Structure 1
Amino acid sequence: MQKIYLHASLFFLTILSSFGQTTQPDSTTFKSRKLKTQEINFVSSYYTQDGNNSAVTGGIGTEKLTDVATTFDITMAKGDAQNRLHSFRLEVGFDHYSSASSDLIDPTTISSASARDNRIYPSLSWVMQDDVKGYSMGAGVSVSTEYDYFSKGVNMNFAKFSKDRSREVGLSLSAFLDSWSMIYPIELRTLETPSGPVDNPDAGGTNPRNSYNASVSLAQVINKRLQASAMLDLAYQTGQLATPYQRVYFTDNSVHVEKLPDSRVKIPVGLRLNYFATDRILVKTFYRFYTDDWGITAHTAEIELPYKLTPFLSVSPFYRFYSQTAADYFAPYKEHSALNEFYTSDYDLSKFVSHLFGLNLRYNSADGILGIHKLNTLEMRYDHYNRDTGLVADAVALAVTIK
């Protein structure tokens, strides 16, 4: 289920961003008009977490979860008659997770369908780059399916860069149209009436949840050693934003399904600075400010220090600090009252401070690795994450690039 492996998804996105390779070859040297394979990437990760604030059981109980995620992508490119470069990327991802807390949606079963699940998410994208006119544009589509939801996505992007390539302005737009199955906790699937229990009409069927995103970015090479970029994102969500299988316990000991507003506006602003301290050391820093209309304000600060041990081998220690205020609708176990219009005990919406740190090893050789000529890059990464709420997680990953 999508909400269950939120943290695993965040780890995997971090891993993918770390392993990200340039998927657009330099069109100034690209001559072929035939479609050719440019790059193949394979990333596999293992994630595990534990804690004592499961939203499924009202903010208490085990958060133990494991997730194995794998993605495979292939990029192909060709030139056209105007000497523009067209790149096509096909990516297929697969996740398998097991979750102790989601099994408690229906604890009367030996093992409910939600205790383990698979997620499959293919995507296809196209980018056209014109170096003569100094711009690129692209579009993509994606699909994601899981036990209790189905998602369709579309995105478009445009970038304009200066003649000397020292400045780039980008705009991207995306939309995700989701359909959620309304799976309630077992004890809330019926309603008590004077004539006896009846089926809860809300505990079934599907509800939509749509997300719309716009992003503007500016990247600038300041001098030989310093590069900077700034990003502004605007996100709007509407529809089924509450997770129906997450319980909320009130002060009167009654139990309810999580209830949240049917819309949400998110505004993140980010700044990135990369400084080449020496020929061997790169200092990468990032800061993001986030706010939304649910009452959350958050700060993220990151630093990564890639260091070249040899011309082929680099090591990159990294650290991320994150803090956020609580959403207006959050309260712990048995602290909500009937006066609350909206309510959740999901600790992802609570006030907390978290720390992420780890190490990335990268080996790159244009002449091949392990005797395989086209094997261009090998990477390994380890992440450790902890929150002051008690949630602890670890992730390891391996990435391979073939060119």
Structure 2
Amino acid sequence: MKKVFLTVATAFALLHPGFAQTNSKTESTGYQSRKLKLEEINLVSSYYSQDGNNAAVTGGVGSQKLTDIANVFEVKLNRYTSKERKHTFGLEVGIDHYTSASSDKIDLQANSSASHADTRIYPSLSWSVENEKKGTTLALGLSSSAEYDYLSFGGNIAFSAKTKDRNGEFTAKFQTYLDQVTLILPIEFRPNGGEHETGGTAARNTFAGSLSYSQIVNQRLQLMLLADVVQQNGYLSLPFHRVYFSDGSVHQEKLPSNRFKLPLGFRGNYFLGDNLIVKTYYRFYTDNWGLTAHTAELELPVKINPFFSISPFYRYYTQTAAKYFAPYQRHSLADQYYNSNYDLSKFNSNFYGAGIRFAPSKGVLGFQRLSMLELRYGHYTKNINMNSNIISLNIKYK
């Protein structure tokens, strides 16, 4: 965490001088410049644990025990220019550390292999400029993610425009992720059987376009329509996922080198008086691997008093199986592609829990700048013998 704070401090020191206005400009235009200032700081910490018996590393059978501790630190700075345009700069740094029983089975003979735990670091930078008079915003972002067997670089650009009455807003966004996957093979597929031996690297690229339109219908009802188009190319398998065929032979997972995804969504928020909001969400998903899914979510934030609220939520999800999936020892040599990862199987799931939000006017525990504290808990179950729990804490400083 010390390194995170040093990174934030360095970024602030670099940004601040570059956006300070000189006195000469103030005198010539009569405009009083606004220096770069802190908008907010967010810290989100979470703990996740899961269990199940369908590990893809061992061909769709075996323990799926996993724990993950995640911390995300975000800083937002803003500044208005002489043309009354609002510039917002964001820096985010995330660090996850996980332990996985199934990853430990990449080497079936090891009690604790190099793959049983890993740490992922994922920093990102963002910038946006908002023309408040015209109601338009342009945003750019860069990101990266690194862990033991994966390296990713991403970029995005977005544009949004509000309607003349400011009740509607259209947003278009394009994202790309350029990844390198280290081919860590199951121990029995390594030519020399070495613990740190790999099969080289392979590329995986993702391109995504998103469109959304939000509308304030009246004082109580807000609606949003969402549509995404996603194209993935390259090495889309995971090299350490085993697949056991009906003849008893074992193979590495093999999937097509392209995948097209089409998610379509809808959000609706209805304000029932001053103390209750009904938040709804629905998403339809389909892809060219034969997988179709539906998601429905309901959240009911209840304001107990002006500073304290509780938000129970429930989400139902169901999907069909991808055409390349089959359970343990169900694939045959006639199959061109094969996979026993139950994430691509037919299943339905339930996710439910609640959040508690505390935002007193005088600050949390009397600290004026500590504006909000939120604690959320969720329990997740699949009908294929898998369950998980997650608890998260969000602290906001303004």
Do the aligned partners of 2:187 and 2:193 also contact (CA within 8 Å) in 1?
Answer: no
The residue aligned with 1:359 is 354
Offset from partner CA, 1:246-300 (integer Å, 9 cap, x none): 0000000000000000000000000000000121000000000000000000000
Do the aligned partners of 1:32 and 1:78 also contact (CA within 8 Å) in 2?
Answer: no
- Separation of aligned partners in 2, 1:205 and 1:101: 22
- Separation of aligned partners in 1, 2:366 and 2:274: 28
Q: How does 1:181-200 map onto structure 2 within 5 Å?
A: 181-190=182-191
- Separation of aligned partners in 2, 1:32 and 1:124: 25
The residue aligned with 2:166 is 165
Offset from partner CA, 1:314-352 (integer Å, 9 cap, x none): 000000000000000000000000000000000000000
Offset from partner CA, 1:143-191 (integer Å, 9 cap, x none): 100000100000000000023320000000000000000111001123x
- Aligned-residue offset at 1:367: 2.1
The residue aligned with 1:18 is none
- Separation of aligned partners in 2, 1:32 and 1:63: 56
- Aligned-residue offset at 1:111: 1.6
Q: How does 1:98-137 map onto structure 2 within 5 Å?
A: 98-137=99-138
- Aligned-residue offset at 1:198: 10
**Paired amino acid for 1:312:** F
The sequence identity of aligned pairs, in percent, is 51
Q: How does 1:240-389 map onto structure 2 within 5 Å?
A: 240-389=235-384
State the SS of the aligned residue for 2:82: coil
Q: CA distance change for structure 1 residues 107 and 32 in 2, over 3 Å: closer, same or farther? A: farther
- Aligned-residue offset at 1:353: 0.3
- Separation of aligned partners in 2, 1:91 and 1:267: 28
The residue aligned with 2:229 is 234
**Paired amino acid for 1:125:** S
- Separation of aligned partners in 1, 2:33 and 2:140: 22
The residue aligned with 1:140 is 141
- Separation of aligned partners in 2, 1:130 and 1:69: 35
The residue aligned with 2:66 is 65
- Separation of aligned partners in 2, 1:292 and 1:181: 26
State the SS of the aligned residue for 1:112: coil
TM-score by structure 1 length? 0.89
- Aligned-residue offset at 1:140: 0.4
The answer to whether 1:215 aligns with 2:214 is: no
- Separation of aligned partners in 1, 2:377 and 2:37: 34
**Paired amino acid for 2:345:** S
Unaligned runs of 5+ in 1: 1-30, 191-196
- Aligned-residue offset at 1:368: 1.1
**Paired amino acid for 1:67:** D
Unaligned runs of 5+ in 2: 1-31
Offset from partner CA, 1:123-153 (integer Å, 9 cap, x none): 0000100011120011000010000010000
- Separation of aligned partners in 1, 2:382 and 2:63: 15
Do the aligned partners of 1:150 and 1:180 also contact (CA within 8 Å) in 2?
Answer: yes
- Separation of aligned partners in 2, 1:347 and 1:97: 20
- Separation of aligned partners in 2, 1:397 and 1:273: 25
State the SS of the aligned residue for 2:56: coil
- After alignment, is 363-372 or 223-232 more displaced? 363-372
- Separation of aligned partners in 1, 2:338 and 2:267: 36
The residue aligned with 1:20 is none
- Separation of aligned partners in 2, 1:281 and 1:105: 49
Detail structure 1 runs of 4+ shifted over 2 Å in the superposition: 107-110
- Separation of aligned partners in 2, 1:392 and 1:32: 54
- Aligned-residue offset at 1:394: 0.2
